[in-house]
C-alpha cells in the first residue's frame, strides 16, 4: 500500500490473537502498522508483534526494492511494535536506531541492550532528521500511551505518524461494519483514557501543523475528513459528551435489578431520550460498557448489595472508570437489597474519586423486587435524567 509517493505501508494483520494487551477481545483481529519512507535516505517506522517478524521483514524487503534502511525510528516501545527491533538489526546492522532517551532505557530492560556503541540517535521534542527531499520532525507524546512515545511529522507530504493515537481495534482486512469510531473509542478509553491531559498537550502541539494523512500504529491510515478525528480526540481527551443519551449499567442476580434497568430504559425512550444504551456488566464486554459510559453525558448504575458492599462486577466496573479519570457526568443510582441495602452509598463512595459528577435524585431503592414505590422512583429518575437538554 502506498501512503504517498515515497511512503509505503509494511504492517501486518493478526487474526489469531485471543486478547490484545492481555485483556481486550478483538473480534475483527488487530493490525500492527509499520511504514517505510523511501527518500535519499530510507527510514522505517516501528516494527510489529513478535509473531509476525518474518512477514514484516519480507514486507520491508519488498518495499525497499534492494535498498538498505538507513534508520529505524522507534516511536513506541510496547512490544506490539518493538518486538522485532533486535531481529531487524541482525538483518540490517548498519541502520541507526532513532528514538527517545526513555525508549533506549526500555530497550535495555526488554532486550538487555540500550544499543549504545552502535549507530543510534536520541531525539527530543522538535528535533529534526533530514532524509533528503524531506525533513522529519519528532514530537514527544508522553503517556500516549507510554512515557517514551514520539510522533513523527513529515512536512513535505503532510503526514503525521501518530504512534497509538487515532488507532483502533481491528485488522485492516476486516471490514468493520461500525466504521472507525466504535472500536477506536473502545481502544482509546481502554488504553489511553486515563491520560486525557497528556493527549490534550499533544493535540495542542499538532494544532499548528498541516496534516493531510494520519498514519497510526493500529487501524486504518486516515486521509479524509481529518478534522473529524482530531475533534473526536479533543472531545475524548477532555472527557466531554460525545453523544446525547443515557447509559444504564447494571448487574442483576435474580433478574429484579435487570427489570428495573429495562423499565428505566423504556421510560427514557418514552420521554424522547435520543439514545439509551443498556449493559449487563456480568455478561457484556466490559470495555464496551466503559466506552459507552465515557461517550454519553448521563450514566445510571444499578446493582445489588453484596457482602454489605457491591456486587463484584459493578465494583470492578466503577474501578475501570475511576482509574481512567472518568468525570464531568450526571449520575443516577439504583440499589437493590433484601434486608440492608447499602449499594447506592457504596457506589457513591467509589465514584467520589471522579471529578465533577452531578448525582441525581431520587436514588432508587428496590427491596428485593420492584413494587409501586420503586416504580414511582424510576419514573422520577427518568424525569430527572431527561430534564436537561443534554440528556
List of residues contacting ligand FEO (CB under 6 A): 76, 78, 80-81, 145, 164, 217-218
Cβ distance to ligand FEO smaller for residue 191 or 347: 191
To the nearest 10 degrees (0 to 180), the angle between helices 312-322 and 343-351 is 20
CB of 32 to ligand FEO, least distance (A): 8
Task: Using the CB atoms, write b or e for 209-221: b if 16+ within 10 Å.
Answer: eebebbbbbbbbb
CB of 144 to ligand FEO, least distance (A): 9
Cβ distance to ligand FEO smaller for residue 39 or 164: 164
Cβ distance to ligand FEO smaller for residue 78 or 335: 78
Closest CA to 357 of 311, 312, 308, 318: 318
Instruction: Label residue 341 left, alpha or beta by phi (over 0 means left) and psi (-120 to 50 means alpha).
Output: beta
Closest CB to ligand FEO belongs to which residue? Answer: 78
Cβ distance to ligand FEO smaller for residue 194 or 375: 194
Cβ distance to ligand FEO smaller for residue 84 or 374: 84
Close Cβ partners of 373 (under 8 Å, ≥ 6 residues apart)? none
CB of 127 to ligand FEO, least distance (A): 22
Cβ distance to ligand FEO smaller for residue 11 or 341: 11
CB of 167 to ligand FEO, least distance (A): 7
Question: 63 is written with which cell numbers?
Answer: 518495499
CB of 251 to ligand FEO, least distance (A): 30
CB of 229 to ligand FEO, least distance (A): 17
CB of 96 to ligand FEO, least distance (A): 23
Strand partners for 71: 43, 96
CA distances from 173 to 14, 15, 18, 28, 93 (A): 10, 10, 17, 9, 32
Cβ distance to ligand FEO smaller for residue 188 or 301: 188
CB of 77 to ligand FEO, least distance (A): 9
Query: Would you call 62 helix, strand, or coil by DSSP?
Result: helix
Q: What secondary structure letter does DSSP report for 194? A: G
Asked whether 298 and 271 are in contact (CB, 8 A), the reply is no
Asked whether 35 and 9 are in contact (CB, 8 A), the reply is yes
Cβ distance to ligand FEO smaller for residue 38 or 163: 163
Rounded CA-CA distance 36/34 in Å is 7
The three state secondary structure string of 106-144 is: HHHHHHCCCCCCCCEEECCCCCEEECCCCEEEEEECCCC
Amino acid at each position: 500500500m502506498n501512503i504517498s509517493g515515497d511512503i509505503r505501508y509494511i504492517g501486518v494483520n493478526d487474526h489469531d490473537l485471543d486478547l490484545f494487551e492481555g485483556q481486550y477481545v478483538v473480534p475483527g483481529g488487530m493490525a500492527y502498522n509499520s511504514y517505510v519512507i523511501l527518500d535519499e535516505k530510507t527510514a522505517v517506522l516501528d516494527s510489529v508483534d513478535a509473531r509476525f517478524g518474518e512477514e514484516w521483514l519480507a514486507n520491508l524487503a519488498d518495499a525497499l526494492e534492494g535498498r538498505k534502511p538507513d534508520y529505524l525510528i522507534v516511536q513506541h516501545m510496547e512490544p506490539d511494535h518493538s518486538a522485532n527491533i533486535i531481529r531487524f538489526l541482525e538483518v540490517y546492522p548498519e541502520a541507526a536506531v532513532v528514538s527517545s532517551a526513555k525508549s533506549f532505557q526500555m530497550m535495555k530492560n526488554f532486550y538487555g541492550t540500550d544499543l549504545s556503541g552502535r549507530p543510534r540517535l536520541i531525539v527530543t521534542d522538535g528535533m529534526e532528521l533530514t532524509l533528503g527531499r524531506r525533513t522529519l520532525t519528532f514530537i514527544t507524546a508522553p503517556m500516549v500511551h507510554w512515557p517514551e512515545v514520539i510522533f513523527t511529522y513529515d512536512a513535505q507530504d503532510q503526514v503525521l505518524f501518530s504512534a497509538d493515537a487515532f488507532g483502533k481495534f481491528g485488522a485492516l482486512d476486516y471490514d468493520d461494519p461500525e466504521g472507525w469510531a466504535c472500536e477506536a473509542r473502545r481502544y482509546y478509553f481502554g488504553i489511553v483514557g486515563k491520560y486525557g491531559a497528556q493527549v490534550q498537550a499533544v493535540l495542542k502541539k499538532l494544532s499548528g501543523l498541516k496534516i493531510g494523512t494520519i498514519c497510526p500504529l493500529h487501524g486504518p491510515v486516515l486521509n479524509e475528513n481529518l478534522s473529524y478525528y482530531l475533534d473526536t480526540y479533543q472531545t475524548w481527551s477532555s472527557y466531554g459528551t460525545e453523544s446525547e443519551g443515557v447509559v444504564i449499567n447494571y448487574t442483576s442476580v435474580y433478574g429484579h435489578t435487570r427489570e428495573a434497568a429495562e423499565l428505566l430504559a423504556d421510560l427514557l425512550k418514552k420521554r424522547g431520550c435520543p439514545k439509551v444504551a443498556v449493559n449487563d456488566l456480568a455478561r457484556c464486554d466490559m470495555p464496551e460498557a466503559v466506552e459507552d459510559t465515557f461517550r454519553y453525558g448521563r450514566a445510571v448504575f444499578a446493582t445489588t448489595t453484596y457482602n454489605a458492599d457491591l456486587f463484584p462486577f459493578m465494583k470492578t466496573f466503577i474501578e475501570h472508570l475511576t482509574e481512567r479519570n472518568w468525570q464531568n457526568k450526571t449520575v443516577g443510582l439504583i440499589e437493590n437489597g433484601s434486608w440492608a441495602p447499602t449499594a447506592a452509598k457504596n457506589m457513591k463512595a467509589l465514584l467520589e474519586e471522579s471529578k465533577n459528577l452531578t448525582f441525581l435524585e431520587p436514588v432508587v431503592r428496590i427491596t428485593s423486587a420492584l413494587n409501586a414505590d420503586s416504580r414511582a422512583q424510576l419514573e422520577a429518575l427518568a424525569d430527572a435524567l431527561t430534564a436537561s437538554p443534554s440528556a
